[in-house]
Amino acid sequence: KNQVEQSPQSLIILEGKNCTLQCNYTVSPFSNLRWYKQDTGRGPVSLTIMTFSENTKSNGRYTATLDADTKQSSLHITASQLSDSASYICVVSARGSQGNLIFGKGTKLSVKP
């Protein structure tokens, strides 16, 4: 069964600190993995996309990694800001899919001053 599991469920950090969010998936055949950021009361917005051959991708202070062998991904946030407080959702696409995305349940990050 295609699944995406994220950890931790929630995380509280102090402003300026770094953090890493984890994503494990069992989607097969794998095509790509996206990390979405969802601010409270808003829809998810894509941060990064990685395909099978990519093992790291950055978007500002966000760096995503992918290990296709172990089927794991991480999202590292550097020098966190209050505006990073949001839910981060890992989303995986299977090869040949026509828009069916497999969503994780997200990690809720709170950055405190």
Partner 1 sequence: DAGVIQSPRHEVTEMGQEVTLRCKPISGHDYLFWYRQTMMRGLELLIYFNNNVPIDDSGMPEDRFSAKMPNASFSTLKIQPSEPRDSAVYFCASSLRAGEYNEQFFGPGTRLTVL
Binding site for partner 1 (CB under 8 A): 31-32, 34, 41-46, 49, 89, 93-101, 103-106
CB of 98 vs partner 1, minimal distance in Å: 4
Distance CA 99, CA 22 (A): 23
Toward partner 1, which CB reaches closer, 16 or 39?
39
Q: In the numeric block, which tokens belong to residue 41?
A: 């009361």
Distance of closest approach, residue 63 Cβ to partner 1, in angstroms: 19
Cβ closest to partner 1, residue 52 vs residue 81: 52
CB of 44 to partner 1, least distance (A): 5
8 preceded by a cis bond (ω within 30 of 0): yes
9 φ/ψ sector (left φ>0, alpha ψ -120 to 50, else beta): alpha
Return the number of other C-beta atoms located less than 10 Å from residue 98's C-beta. Answer: 5
46 vs 55, beta carbon nearer partner 1: 46
